[in-house]
Structure 1
Amino acid sequence: MRIMAFDYGTKRIGIAVTDPMQLIATSLTTIHPEEIWTFLADYLQKEEVETFVVGKPLQMDGTASQSAQHIVGFIRKLKKTYLAIPVVEIDERFTSKMAASVIAQSGMKKQRRQEKGLVDTVSATIILQTYMDSKAF
């Protein structure tokens, strides 16, 4: 069974998943928030997901950031819609900066590096990898 992670934004949601053995975190896609429920319904018909991991934006002092209110609603609906799949929240304070750094160092062509959704899917992958690393101990 896979683990699926979300980097939730009001314009785009970056999504990453593990392989079925949960060894590797991979970027999956970026979609508009309005399309998330249709996307999940389709995806979950084909693949089994054991856990949802959602990046939660915190401020430096650990309190919720302004964008956290959107994520609270997303998490609430996720839990209500998919009762059997636990939702784990992960601190995502530095994932966008880390993603931008990874992309800059990747050797990708400039046009690919500037795709808006790329940072979101890489951020989701970092969120997922952080969760996987925390489970390993």
Structure 2
Amino acid sequence: MPDLPKEYNILAFDYGNVRIGVAVGNSLLKIPHPLMTIGGESLNAKIAAIEPIITKWQPAVLVVGVPEFSDNPQKIQLINTIKNFGKRLAARFDLPVNLVNEDYSSSHASSLLNEQGIHGKSQKIMLDQLAACSILESFFASYN
């Protein structure tokens, strides 16, 4: 990772073909906060929707959750799409992008929502944001 100031913002993304969950955290506090869920028809539309978030939060680092490698052709395609998303973010915003294992981030987010009495379709919009929080927690744990 490049030399960074002592305190800086980090944006994390839980990429999905339909929605992208976004969370923000601070390098000093290391507490992720859900921000929003982005939808869009195309990857270009999703990246365009990220631009005002980058402008507002001025992150020094971006984190993208990616599943572990699999032999499943559909999962391989998703992994490649997510890696492409990360490359596009890095190129568009000239920021370092860290890929973090996202396995079980959605199930962890779902269990947190279940504990709060939020079930089924009611979880839909919040699930991706909380999964992004889980991804950011993994990032913080790996960069003490």
Name the TM-score class by shorter chain: 0.7 to 0.9
Question: Normalization by structure 2: what TM-score?
Answer: 0.79
CA–CA separation in structure 2 for the residues paired with 1:75 and 1:135: 19
Which residue of 1, 11, 15 corresponds with 2:18? Answer: 11
Letter in 2 for 1:119: L
Question: Are residues 1:118 and 2:129 paired?
Answer: no
Deviations 1:112-132 (A, max 9, x none): x72312211110000001111
CA–CA separation in structure 2 for the residues paired with 1:52 and 1:133: 15
Helix, strand or coil: the match of 2:60?
A: strand
Give 1:130's aligned residue: 138
CA–CA separation in structure 2 for the residues paired with 1:95 and 1:102: 11
CA–CA separation in structure 2 for the residues paired with 1:96 and 1:60: 17
* CA 1:20–1:94: 2 relative to 1, 3 Å: closer
Give structure 1 stretches of 5+ with no counterpart.
none
Give 1:24's aligned residue: 31
Give 1:2's aligned residue: 9
Please identify, of 36-45 and 70-79, the stretch whose mean Cα deviation from structure 2 is larger.
Answer: 36-45
Please identify, of 42-51 and 92-101, the stretch whose mean Cα deviation from structure 2 is larger.
Answer: 42-51
CA–CA separation in structure 1 for the residues paired with 2:54 and 2:118: 33
Deviations 1:74-93 (A, max 9, x none): 1121121122x110001111
Question: Normalization by structure 1: what TM-score?
Answer: 0.82
Percentage identity across paired residues of the two chains: 27
Per the TM alignment, residue 59 of structure 1 is displaced from its structure 2 partner at its CA by 4.7
Give 2:5's aligned residue: none
Superposed counterparts of 1:68-79, under 5 Å: 68-79=79-90
Give structure 2 stretches of 5+ with no counterpart.
1-7
- Cα RMSD of the aligned pairs, angstroms, is 2.3
> 2:13·2:23 contact (CA, 8 Å) conserved in 1?
yes
Runs of 4+ in 1 over 3 A off after TM superposition: 19-22, 108-111
> 1:29·1:121 contact (CA, 8 Å) conserved in 2?
yes
Please identify, of 26-35 and 88-97, the stretch whose mean Cα deviation from structure 2 is larger.
Answer: 26-35
Letter in 1 for 2:87: R
Question: Are residues 1:51 and 2:58 paired?
Answer: no
Helix, strand or coil: the match of 1:102?
A: helix
Helix, strand or coil: the match of 2:75?
A: coil
